[in-house]
Chains A and B, each alone.
Chain A
Amino acid sequence: MSHIGSYEERVKEFDWSLSETELDYKDGDVLNIGWYCTDRICKMGKADKTALIWEGLGGQEKRYTYNDIRVASNTIGSFLRGLGIKNEDRVCLFMDKIPELYFGFLGILKIGAIAQPLFSAFGDESLLVRLSNAETTAIVTQRKHVSKVRKIIDQMPYVKHVIVVDYDGKKPLREREIAFSLEEAAPVDEFEIYPTKAESPSVLHYTSGTTGQPKGVKHVHYSLISQYLTAKWVLDLQEDDIYWCTADPGWVTGTSYGIIGAFSLGVTQCVMDVGFSAEAWYKFIEKHKVTVWYSAPTAIRSLMKCGDEPVKKYDLSCLRHLASVGEPLNAEAVIWSERVFGKAFLDTYWQTETGSMMITNFPGMKIKPGSMGKAFPGITAVVLDTETYEPITEPGKVGLIGFKPGWPAMMREYWRNEETYKSKFINGWYIPGDRSSIDNEGYFWFTGRDDDVINTGGHLVSPFEVESALLEHEAVAESAVVAKPDEVNMEVVKAFVTLNAGFEASTDLELKIMNFIRKKLSPLAMPQEIEYVNTLPKTRSGKIMRRLLHAKEWGEEIGDTSTLEDDE
């Protein structure tokens, strides 16, 4: 029997106090996610239960009980506090998916500081922009990523400490750098956890928009109330489950459901810190007897691309429940997964700003392949007319998705950017920026973004950020960046560039520009294709018309070109 039982009954009777009661939380109590994910589970008699199974390169494996992660997070928290880091300071986690990332996240929350996880593949420019905006106090990182921090450290006077968790003593550390080894540090069993309250800030995730710099999405400890219940009802995490969330905690799925959701439920979860390969993934599922698997459409389509044969080599009968997030899950992927795993991947829809799942397919519900599912109980979700911002009642008509504000995990602000935060609310609705329709049975059907943001492999890339970085390359005079359709990643970055005098278009130059962006921003932001053009389409006021380039890539009608400067 699934936790949610009857969806209709849950909707009828729903109140978030249900989650509060299960977590023994009352309004005004101290509420600290770090405590809920570790100490509370130990107090419930599960101190010896396995919390985390971590696997690295070459099958290297580490296992931690709930008591181990309680002590490890205490130990890291104590170390940070000893450095003078205090509540509400921003502490960046810039690491691969190593155990210290998970324990560091919880340790930061335990001292009341704000965890700022950043994807470890980010280049120095991406890092600088996000750390500068947050005025981050400390960066916890690995030896392999220190060189990127060193490139920009002189521009960040607010960074007081760069903590290296795997320092090997081979080369001297520099000013502001300090070594910390979890294995060598004295374990801290008793720890005074900072008494955060519901509205105390917890996590700062950065997300990209069409224009401007990335925005810091601030969440609070009360987000736990949503994350706990959605993990329980949608992922259906049960006592004996072995759960695998493939997301990196540099992104919101990796923290909301790769740390908080599972640990607050006292479930055993697995982490695999190696690159993608279909056989390695299936082997991992078989070896650890994974029962619940939360992944992403890009990964699922990559597995599909490898065919059915690798699946047959492994015993995957342990899988009980599969879910997906990041971008719309196409019907073919749903049907394929049902055929080869005997279980369909259930799509879930939410975003960094919502902090927890909003529209999803639930265990036991009739699945319509390609649909996002229905609103989570307690969530009022509609599609809005794009002119009036009133809910559309006609089934099948496309509009903007809108949510009635007020669920626990909703962001509380864009960091120091109130104007943009306010712009997300229109006519009493929070507008996530996606278009959808609702059918006559209440199922949502995603149709696309309402802006130019590129969703590549489930990660949002700002065309503005890539265009700006391209202009820093000596050969590039002008640039325009759009999404290009891609079979696996849904969209990839494509750049159109004009060249400065003295540079000639060539495949070698294309590669140089690609690598320039990859190192400066990230592999995700790297244009997978660069097209040299003589001019870019512009309005008469000189604004680049990305819309035309986008339409060309997608084979769409180009629409009104009356404002075009030069339509050659």
Chain B
Amino acid sequence: MEEIKKVVLEYVTEEYLEDEDDELTAETPLISGGIVDSFSMVSLKRFLENKYNISIPDEQATPEAFDTVDKIAVLIQGFLK
């Protein structure tokens, strides 16, 4: 789980964080915080699918499920079991 969090955190920081001074944690709201918008969520979902060789159904790729790195890690973990 911690490894997933680390990977996702690095990716989100690199790809979506505009202000380099901002610090991102696993609890930072991504969608509701405006860091990742609904259009960009598609590329984040694609990254997760490619990285973990999984397919996330649209009904599970909700703004709520993607709202923090913690929540994303839980979602991914569910597919890897």
Q: Chain A interface (Cβ within 8 Å of chain B)?
A: 57, 96, 121, 143-145, 147-148, 168, 170-171, 273-277, 279-280, 302, 306, 456-457, 507-508, 510-511, 514-515, 518, 523-524, 526, 528
Contacts and interface: CB of A to CB of B under 8 A. Distances in A.
B19 A143 contact: yes
Given A57-B29, A273-B34, A524 B20 contact: no
Given A275-B32, A457-B39, A523-B40, 18 more contacts: A57-B34, A121-B37, A143-B19, A144-B22, A147-B20, A273-B34, A274-B29, A274-B32, A275-B63, A276-B32, A277-B67, A456-B39, A507-B49, A507-B50, A511-B46, A511-B47, A514-B46, A515-B43
Given A144-B22, A277-B64, A508-B50, A526 B40 contact: yes
Contacts of A275: 29-38, 63
A122 B39 CA distance: 13
Contact of B32 (A57, A145, A507, A511): A57
Q: Is the interface of B mostly helix, strand, loop or mixed?
A: loop
Nearest to A310: B64
B61 to A, nearest CB: 11
13 contacts: A57-B34, A121-B37, A144-B18, A145-B18, A274-B32, A277-B64, A279-B64, A457-B38, A507-B46, A510-B46, A511-B46, A511-B50, A523-B39
A148 B46 CA distance: 25
B21 interface: yes
B56 interface: no
Contacts of A515: 15, 43
A523 B42 CA distance: 9
Contacts of A170: 21
Nearest to A170: B21
Contacts of B42: 514, 526, 528
Contacts of A121: 37
A514 B38 contact: no
Contacts of A302: 38
Interface of B: 15, 18-22, 29-40, 42-43, 46-47, 49-50, 62-64, 67
Contacts of B62: 306
Contacts of A144: 18-19, 22
B43 A514 contact: yes
B33 to A, nearest CB: 5
Nearest to A306: B62
Contacts of B39: 456-457, 518, 523-524, 526, 528
B37 A148 contact: no
B34 A96 contact: yes
A5 to B, nearest CB: 39
A400 B37 CA distance: 34
Contacts of A524: 39
Contacts of A510: 46
Nearest to A459: B39
A223 B18 CA distance: 35
Given A275-B32, A275-B33, A277-B64, A143 B43 contact: no
A35 B39 CA distance: 37
Given A57-B34, A514-B46, A276 B40 contact: no
B32 to A, nearest CB: 5
A518 B67 contact: no
Contacts of A171: 21
Nearest to B64: A277
Given A57-B29, A457-B39, A524-B39, A274 B21 contact: no
B43 A526 contact: yes
Q: 8 closest pairs, A vs B, by CB?
A: A144-B19, A523-B39, A523-B40, A275-B34, A275-B31, A144-B18, A275-B32, A514-B43
B5 to A, nearest CB: 20
A297 to B, nearest CB: 14
A93 B63 CA distance: 28
Contacts of B20: 147
B44 to A, nearest CB: 10
A280 B63 CA distance: 11
A237 B2 CA distance: 51
Nearest to B49: A507
A148 B50 CA distance: 28
Nearest to A488: B38
Nearest to B41: A523
Nearest to A171: B21
B73 to A, nearest CB: 19
A276 B29 CA distance: 11
A168 to B, nearest CB: 8
A144 B32 CA distance: 17
Nearest to B22: A144
Of residues A96, A306, A511, A514, which shows the largest number of chain B Cβ atoms within 10 Å of its Cβ? Answer: A511
B13 to A, nearest CB: 14
Given A57-B29, A275-B34, A148 B18 contact: yes
Contacts of B36: 275
Contacts of A279: 64
A508 B42 CA distance: 14
A417 to B, nearest CB: 28
A147 B18 contact: yes
A135 B76 CA distance: 47
A168 B62 CA distance: 34
B4 to A, nearest CB: 18
A171 B33 CA distance: 24
